[in-house]
Amino acid sequence: MRQGPIAVACALFPLLAAAQSSVTIYGIMDGGVEYVNKQRVGSNLQRVVSGAESGSRLGYRGIEDLGGGLRAVFTLESGLNIDDGTYAQGGLAFGREASVGIGGSWGQVTLGRQAPALNMLAVAFDPLGRPSRYSSPTIDPLYAGRVNNVASYSVTMGSSRFVAEYGFGEVQGSRRAGHYLGAYGSTVLGDLTLGFAYDEQGGATVALSGDTVKRTSVATLYRVGVATLGVGFTDRRNELAAGPTRVSQYWVGAKAQIAPLWYTAVAYYVADTRNSPDKASMLSLLTTYAFSRRTDVYLHVATTHNSARTNLGVTGFATTIAGESQQGVTIGLRHLF
């Protein structure tokens, strides 16, 4: 019988409690009502959505002091669709993260399903804070992606952080098929924060092992009073046997705590295929009001614009009619615990 993450955690908890220095249970429940026009079939859509601003989740994080400056760590994090009670990330029990590792003053090594470098860059530098909808993952799903079978090394030195990752493709007959290579770094220099990321993904099968998608990204944030300005750029190279392409992806935006309980952010995202007329863009505006440190409500609106052959909708490509603009609006409630 298939067991869900809560049942697994409950079964393991007595063992964990005896061995761990601490085990933390945490989560986010985020639900909203969304209206989107001009679907692919030309109609409008109203629906209840989960995780519009922060992916709904339930997580378990543990740490054990091993002595001598060493620590053992683990993270199990499930993505949840609270609109229908199912798992997110394709139905995986721990689709957001499942990792175990060891760390010390020299850094930390973890193994398992983890976030790629581009996801780390978006979380830190997307002006909207990389919400699940109407933001950077709209122009490229890897901004919110996860990678399986990853060995990761991370280290923090003062205000700088560096992460290196390698994902084993685990495809019999080819060491390159399905492989992943990633690196992320960031540093804070007063009011200026700088970041970079590199991601390389191989084709998923032996037949496609020669296909590779490479992304090289840079981003910056600059704080000016209560506001923070942000710019990000990704050069995406699709080195595919079926036909190579190169896409420039970028965003510009700003965010500000405009009052003690009010927060707002705006960003403009672009995906521009080089040597081609194909270009798509999205303008997104988010406003939140905090009832407390753990609960807020939000209003998020976005509109896309497409060239004649592109079909970018507010939730991603191929979600609207080619050449059309699409608008979306979500009103929701988010609770952290």
In this predicted model, what pLDDT tens digit does every residue of 185-240 receive, in sequence order? 999 999 999 999 999 999 989 988 889 999 999 999 999 999 999 999 999 999 99
Contacts of 306 (CB under 8 A, 6+ apart): 279, 280, 312, 320, 322, 323, 324, 325
Residue 8 pLDDT: 39
How many domains is the chain partitioned into structurally? 1
CA distance readout (Å), 152 to 45, 78, 101 = 41, 20, 9
pTM of the model: 0.91
Question: Tens digit of pLDDT for each residue in 55-92?
Answer: 999 999 999 999 999 999 999 999 999 999 999 999 99
Residue 175 pLDDT: 82
Residue 231 pLDDT: 98
CA 295 to chain centre: 21
Q: Is residue 12 part of a domain?
A: no
In eight-state DSSP terms, residue 10 is H
CA dist., res. 121 & res. 321, Å (int): 30
Q: Is residue 236 part of a domain?
A: yes
Q: Is residue 18 part of a domain?
A: no
Residues of the chain with pLDDT under 50: 1-19
Q: Is residue 9 part of a domain?
A: no
CA dist., res. 104 & res. 98, Å (int): 20
Contacts of 158 (CB under 8 A, 6+ apart): none
Pairing outcome for strands 295-306 and 279-290: antiparallel
Q: Is residue 272 part of a domain?
A: yes
Domain housing 68 = 31-336
Q: Is residue 5 part of a domain?
A: no
Residue 287 pLDDT: 97
Q: Is residue 227 part of a domain?
A: yes
Q: Is residue 95 part of a domain?
A: yes
DSSP string, 44-81: -EEEEEE-SSS--EEEEEEEEEEETTEEEEEEEEEEEE
Residue 18 pLDDT: 45
CATH number for position 282 = 2.40.160.10
In eight-state DSSP terms, residue 91 is G
